[in-house]
Chains A and B, each alone.
Chain A
Amino acid sequence: MRIRPSEITPEPVYRARRDFLAGIAGLGAAALLARPAPAEEVMNVTLVQRLQYKRNARYSTTEKANSFSDVTGYNNFYEFGTGKEDPSRNAGSLRPRPWSVVVDGECEVKGRYALEDLLKPHALEERTYRLRCVEAWSMVIPWIGFPLGDLAKRFKPTSRAKFIEFTTLLDSRQMPGQRYAVLDWPYVEGLRMDEAMHPLAILAVGLYGQVLPNQNGAPLRLVVPWKYGFKSIKSIARIRFTERMPATTWALSAPQEYGFYANVNPEVDHPRWSQARERRIGSDSFLSRQPTLRFNGYGNEVAGLYAGMDLARNF
């Protein structure tokens, strides 16, 4: 069979078509939920279309954000495969709605919450953050979310709550990468309580003004911009307040290479590569690396959290 050049769909057209279809998929989910609608489901409809938010300029960088296709096409999300393009190919099997999150541990209010109920009290804001991967590349991403601390307070953590532990969904039918024990599933991450309460730490539900694409950690993910990207856990199914430091996935997988803190630090190299510089994905000067900043450039805000700590030992 011969295919004439005129029959081949030009790239901009099929890209737009894919984006449109991805949007429709979300709308389809919304339509299912939008039967004669109680209040929560109306909320859900607004969620899957464009999000309502205010821009937070104070906590946003003015650097140029990466394109939507970079942000959604180049991801580390091993639950959908270990290649950078695997998540965008495979994350269609995730069903981010309906979704519920278990909140438990050292807190007074606990239970299983529908995503809508969890999000309802929070006003969304847009924050453009730098994201620095431990693999020495970086992006700039306009997230939509709200401060993690605001959510944590609602559950009244007790005086014994020293850490928050987050767990990703465990379901190998939705997350085919979990069929292989590349990591010890489910993915677990955590923050010290004071880190979690810091205003820069957010829970994100969207990016680029729309609901999170599956490959970016739908429907709810953490974003901690001063730490390496692997701390910012995706598709959160459980939030637990704990007294002891959580055993986190990468630190368990290779303790000599990944620590609990994982603060971005150009002076502390990964044992196998330098962390002094990073490649900014999609930048005009992608051929050269730019210097990595301490705490990913958020040192003024967060350095105080680590006063007196040896950051080379607590890497």
Chain B
Amino acid sequence: MFKMNSNETLRWIAKPIVFLLCLLPVGWLLAGLADLAGFAQWPSASLGANPVDRIQDTLGIWGLRLLLATLAVTPLRELGGWQRLIAFRRMLGLFAFFYVSAHFAWYLLVDQGLDWRLWVEDIAKRPFITVGFTALVMLVPLALTSTKRAMRRMGRRWQRLHRLIYPAAILGCTHFYWQVKADIREPLIFCLALAVLLGWRLYRSWQRAGRGRAEKDSRQDQDPARPRLPVEPLTE
């Protein structure tokens, strides 16, 4: 028998499980492709009559879901007291980037079929594509600086840079909203979830600012008995 401490459990059990869960949609699509190509018979994974659009949509929606999941880590930590959730944030963010990139690559290579003139025209001419593309571009530096080393080296600038996830998520939801024809119910759910996640942050920073002011006032009052509020680290 061997025993694991909680860090080891996290590293060897919880993280691999989350990793595999994040890969499930890819597995599902691969099963669908195998069914389509006739390598296997998995009708329940069938990609339907329009597999190109189905794959495109699936990749995009999972990119957005995981982006929102990444943004949910900090609120859940603070509200639910699950400090360890932070261990999953980078993985969720990188998977979000993976799905969004795959969504874009699929659009370029398969949907638009390798015709670069069409790419340029489409990205420039159509706002919902421009918006989605901008969101992807914003995520690139975040993915590139996701290593522990970059985090250490950049210090406070890392924090500031990674706030790009907020506009990227807003643009991502806008992209989804703009793309539907009439039934806006699903994109509205995403927008609502995003509004809650960002609203909570606004509320927190407003609260902190208030506390900061109170602290300053109390220092001016020369009240040494009042303890300084602990500032909690925001990153891993």
Contact = CB atoms under 8 A, between A and B. Distances in A.
Contact of B182 (A10, A70, A253, A279): A253
Interface stretch (A91-99, A285-293, A298-306): A285-293
A253 B180 CA distance: 13
Interface stretch (A51-59, A77-85, A124-132): A77-85
A22 interface: no
B131 to A, nearest CB: 11
Contact of B49 (A74, A82, A254, A274): A74
Contacts of A253: 182
A9 to B, nearest CB: 10
Contacts of A70: 49
Contacts of B51: 286
Interface string B108-133: 00100100001001100111100000
A282 interface: yes
A189 to B, nearest CB: 15
The residue in B50, B113, B181 that gathers the most chain A C-beta atoms within 10 A of its C-beta is B181
Contacts of A78: 182-183
Contacts of B52: 279, 286-287
A286 B185 CA distance: 29
B182 A82 contact: yes
Contacts of A137: 50, 53
B171 to A, nearest CB: 16
Tell me if B's interface is mostly helix, strand, loop or mixed: helix
A80 to B, nearest CB: 12
B182 A274 contact: no
A183 interface: yes
Contacts of B178: 272
Contact of A281 (B49, B128, B185): B49
A10 B42 CA distance: 10
A180 interface: yes
Contacts of B185: 180, 182
B59 to A, nearest CB: 16
A95 to B, nearest CB: 25
Contact of B50 (A74, A180, A254, A274): A74
Interface in A47-105: 69-70, 73-74, 78, 82, 84-85
Interface in B42-90: 43, 48-53
A236 to B, nearest CB: 21
A135 interface: yes
B182 A287 contact: no
B179 interface: yes
B75 to A, nearest CB: 30
B48 A73 contact: yes
Interface in A202-243: none
B41 interface: yes
A315 to B, nearest CB: 16
A11 interface: yes
A272 B126 contact: yes
B110 A287 contact: yes
A289 B50 contact: no
The residue in B122, B126, B127, B185 that gathers the most chain A C-beta atoms within 10 A of its C-beta is B126
A274 B122 contact: yes
A73 B182 contact: no
Interface string A182-208: 110000000000000000000000000
B179 A289 contact: no
Interface string A263-292: 000000101111000010110001111000
B42 to A, nearest CB: 9
A85 B48 contact: yes
Contacts of A10: 41
A271 B125 CA distance: 9
Contacts of A69: 49
A289 B113 contact: yes
Contacts of B126: 271-274
A70 B47 CA distance: 12
A10 B113 CA distance: 35
Nearest to A281: B49
Nearest to B122: A274
A272 B179 contact: yes
Contacts of A288: 113
Contacts of A85: 48
A69 B49 CA distance: 8
Contacts of B43: 11
Contacts of A279: 50, 52-53
A282 B48 CA distance: 10
A269 B113 CA distance: 18
7 contacts: A74-B49, A84-B49, A85-B48, A272-B127, A272-B179, A279-B52, A286-B51
Interface of A: 10-11, 69-70, 73-74, 78, 82, 84-85, 135, 137, 180, 182-183, 253-254, 269, 271-274, 279, 281-282, 286-289
Counting from the closest, the 3 A-B pairs by CB-CB distance are A74-B49, A82-B183, A70-B49
Given A274-B121, A286-B51, 5 more contacts: A74-B50, A78-B182, A287-B110, A287-B113, A289-B113
